[in-house]
Amino acid sequence: MQNFNELIARTVDFKPGERNVFLHLLTQCNLSCRHCYINPTQHGTTMLPTETVRQWLRLFARPERESNLILLGGEPTLHPDLAAIIRAAKALRYAVTVDSNGFLFHDLLKRVRPVELDFLSFSLDGPDAAVNDPIRGKGVFAVCTENLRQAVSLGFRTSLICTVSALNIDHLHRMPALLTQLGVQRFFIQVIGLRGNSATGGAENLQVDRAGWLEVVPETARQAARLGIHVTYPKVFLEPGESFSCAGLAAENYFVFPNGRVYRCPLCEDYPIHSFCIENSELVQQQGLNEDRFFNLSIPEGCVMNKLLQSDNLDYLPDGSLKHRISCCMLKQEMRP
Ligand code: SF4
Ligand code: SF4
């Protein structure tokens, strides 16, 4: 019998050859979450035409091996052809996840079969309406949980993303019980980033400090794993002796926006410093001072972009030395049941 007290977090190292394509089909959304990371000034307001999506899927596909495709927005289910896009992606050997806010427009559950989709992911930022709705909008908890229940009952594999901030961290410990009740298989705990609304003054600083994060997140992950849920959460802080690695160098991640910008680092998405642009269905390397120039820089703090963009995350001792280093935002820890 497994001793649950021994459940420990495992760092998920970047796997050579693993390819993750985060494709934003559109930037429009029916919600306006307080911490929304979408920035229409940088990424436009276009909804990608289906034929363009097909071309871009071919551009990033590697027929010799499976790649991970995450379809997102905005709200991706607002795209009227999402079902056809999912099928086109599966035909190109992508493992496909749809990240939805839970509204599931255009009857997605009726137009796609569970076998055609690897994961349907829902976003919820609290264990009840009283916590979730002030962050994501009035009535959102009820709609999202009802659609999640329906998806589970139809046989879809589901995951849930919770973005942790000062607004909900005190309630995070109640999420595992809700996930069990809903039948969710995977739980992604996410750290709030300084992007979109959080960066442009649309929201106050909602970031959680190191002590608060470490006190709550690993224990909540352990509780969820005890209940049989596979949990993933960002590493955020490196322990002494742990090595630093930048996903921009060590992994193949592409964050693709409907205006054709392609980033390798999500922290850079608020700035026109993308590594590539899609032009005439070709991936064109951008010249000049772009994000990829920063990936090679080595600094004691760890992640260069974090130091430049989110320096409040760093703590120094009176002698000027670092209290801790910051990991790549793409480095995850996981706890499995
Ligand atoms: S965070 Fe997601 S669901 Fe919320 S407003 Fe932004 S795109 Fe929509
Ligand atoms: S978050 Fe930092 S370490 Fe990770 S890809 Fe971006 S620049 Fe590199």
The tens digit of pLDDT for each residue in 205-229 reads 788 888 888 899 999 999 999 999 9
Domain ranges of the chain: 7-242+329-335
Q: Is residue 309 very low, low, confident or very high in pLDDT (cuts 50, 70, 90)?
A: confident
The secondary structure of residue 127, as a DSSP letter, is S
Question: Do residues 111 and 156 lie in contact, with contact meaning Cβ atoms separated by under 8 Å?
Answer: no
Pick the CATH number of 7-242+329-335 from 1.10.1660.10, 1.10.1040.10, 3.20.20.70, 3.40.630.30: 3.20.20.70
Closest-approaching ligand to the CA atom of 304: 2
Furthest CA-CA distance within the chain:
61
| CB of 122 closer than 6 angstroms to any ligand 2 atom | no
Report whether 137 contacts 145 (CB < 8 A). no
For residue range 28-77, list pLDDT tens digits in order.
999 999 989 898 899 989 999 999 999 999 999 997 888 999 999 999 99
pLDDT tens across 236-286, in order?
888 888 889 999 999 999 999 999 999 999 999 999 999 999 999 899 999
Ligand 2 probe mutation, 190, 191, 305, most atoms within 8 A of CB? 305
**Sequence-ordered list of residues with C-beta below 8 angstroms from that of 79, at least 6 positions apart, any chain:** 25, 26, 47, 48, 73, 85, 106
| pTM for this model (two decimals) | 0.93
Identify which of 93, 96, 99 has the alpha carbon closest to the alpha carbon of residue 121: 99
Q: For 138-149, how does the pLDDT look when each residue is reduced to its tens digit (9 = 90+)? A: 999 999 999 999
3-state secondary structure of 177: helix
334 DSSP β-pair partners? 10, 232
Q: What is the pLDDT of residue 202?
A: 47
Q: Is the distance from CB of 270 to CB of 195 less than 8 angstroms?
A: yes
Pairing of strands 158-164, 261-263: unpaired
Residue 72: name the closest of 112, 40, 106, 29 by CA.
29
Kindly state if the Cβ of 309 falls inside 6 Å of ligand 2: no
Q: Report which ligand 1 atom has the smallest distance to the Cα of 29.
A: 8
Q: Using a pLDDT cut of 90, give the percent of the chain over it.
A: 68
- Asked if residue 320 has a cis previous peptide bond (ω within 30° of 0), the answer is no
